[in-house]
A and B are shown apart, each in its own frame.
Chain A
Amino acid sequence: MPRQKRILITGATSGIGLALVVRHAPDAAVLATGRRSAEEARRVLPDGVAYVQADQRHPERAVAAILSALDDLGWDRLDLAVLNAGTGHAVDPAGETPQMLRDVLDANLFCAVTLAQALRPRLEAGQGRLVLIGSTARKGAAGFASYAAAKAGLHGFARALAEEWRGRIAVQVVHPGPTDTGMHARAGHDPGRLVRLFARTGTMARLIDAAIARGRTVETISFARFLGRGEGGR
């Protein structure tokens, strides 16, 4: 029997991350992370999925918690790490306070950089794959300036790292378009009727898995693809 795959998914308690967990939990060993407590996470995660609370607004602490969870599981190799945790605020950029800016950059970007470095030995041992979840907002967004900036940072980081690690660890960045996950509401943004055009969470997770299987360094799973089909990705 082939050995079971070991997969780390961050931001796995809701939305796209949770949908990825649901897809992989039946045949892989999964470690999920999120901001919420373990007790709250249990209520949404499928049985058998390991969980560690790791608030990425504090990257150094979050990464230490994830590493110690990996140690507890005895995982000295990883097949796949999907760094999906993300958060933003819908706000006039002049109204973004220093705290908001720091939280967005830390949770979306610096924590991913820190994790990439900390996970490298395990990914290398598992001949694994590192996948960063970006966003189509990475080209710029007036109402989400720091979020767009952080996602652009992930893009540039992944592209450079993919080149540096070529032949050792595969690195990819996948940019989802708008997805019906509740992230917009949490960010304080009402997409109105446009939400009908958003991809469903499960559809997006399936397309992300397909992108991972194709293995290209940069993939965009865009709004326009759904518009073209006139089915809102549903």
Chain B
Amino acid sequence: MKTALVTGGGAGLGRAIVERLLAEGWRVVSVDRAEGTTVPGLEHLACDLADRHAVDALAERLGGMGPFGLAVFNAGVSATGRFEAIPIEAYRRLMTVNAETPMLLSAGLVRTGQMAGPMCFVSSLSHFTGYPGAAVYAASKDALAVYAKSVRKPFARRGVSVTLACPGPLRTDHARRHAPAGADADRRMPPEVAARIILDATLAGRRLVVPGRANRSVALAGRLLPGTMMRQMRRLIFDRLQGEVW
């Protein structure tokens, strides 16, 4: 049986990915802050992915658990509100969880020969649109996206394909907490749907996946008219924020 690694597998998109993999017969190692329920085929590793010492210990531990037939670096946190109104410590944690930890874990797994299959980095649609009202979140997700693009060829030489996933708004607790006033939850994609599309693309070795046709149109518009899209995002998000959430 092949083993998959999923970070942030306890909730939202990560949980949907874990459930789908279990249903397809994978053995899954799920890394999250809290211990989860035990299910056959599923192993939980508790780790605060914002804590450098804990991440170093995790990297060591993963070294003895492979080889992994698949790795999905999905864990992420957000911080929405005016840039200057959120404490720098929160941004430090965010940057570590969203950018530093996945880069470091993926490099370590490839270096030690523990990867025997594809890898997916979950960034965000904000990579194409920009995200005023979440400037540091945007920075972390852009960093992760470009890391994924950068390592695609060198990792491919070691037999590991790299997929960059840029999902748009999802119907998860995370999105609900950070959504601006008046946002319509029905228009967000159910995490199960995004999980299926992202896993199919990753297992097929695709370079980029943006789940959902509407999101792909938004990504295209952001590429063609970045300034216009950014101002639109300001009106839709930054101007409607009602405080800071992190």
Which A residues are closer than 8 A to B by beta carbons? 60, 92-96, 98, 101-102, 105, 109-110, 113-114, 116-117, 120, 138-142, 144-146, 148-157, 159-161, 163-165, 217-218
Contacts and interface: CB of A to CB of B under 8 A. Distances in A.
Given A94-B154, A98-B108, A163 B142 contact: no
Given A98-B108, A109-B95, A113-B136, A152 B143 contact: yes
B181 to A, nearest CB: 17
Given A101-B104, A156-B142, 17 more contacts: A94-B110, A98-B55, A98-B59, A105-B100, A116-B83, A120-B84, A139-B146, A145-B103, A145-B154, A153-B99, A156-B139, A157-B135, A160-B138, A161-B135, A163-B130, A163-B233, A164-B135
Given A105-B95, A160-B138, A146 B103 contact: yes
Contact of A156 (B104, B138, B231): B138
B45 interface: no
Contact of B138 (A60, A94, A101, A157): A157
Contacts of A141: 150
B174 interface: no
A139 B84 CA distance: 27
A118 B48 CA distance: 27
Contacts of B158: 94
A46 B92 CA distance: 35
B98 to A, nearest CB: 10
Interface in B139-187: 139-147, 149-155, 158
A146 B227 CA distance: 26
B144 A149 contact: yes
Instruction: Give chain B's interface residue range (CB within 8 Å of chain A).
Output: 35 or more
Contact residues of A: prevailing secondary structure: helix
Nearest to B140: A153
B44 interface: no
Contacts of A150: 143
Interface of B: 52, 55-56, 59, 82-84, 88, 91-92, 95, 99-100, 103-104, 107-108, 110-111, 126-127, 130-136, 138-147, 149-155, 158, 226-227, 230-231, 233-234, 238
Given A101-B100, A156-B130, A163 B150 contact: no
Contact of B142 (A96, A120, A152, A218): A152
B111 A94 contact: yes
B106 to A, nearest CB: 9
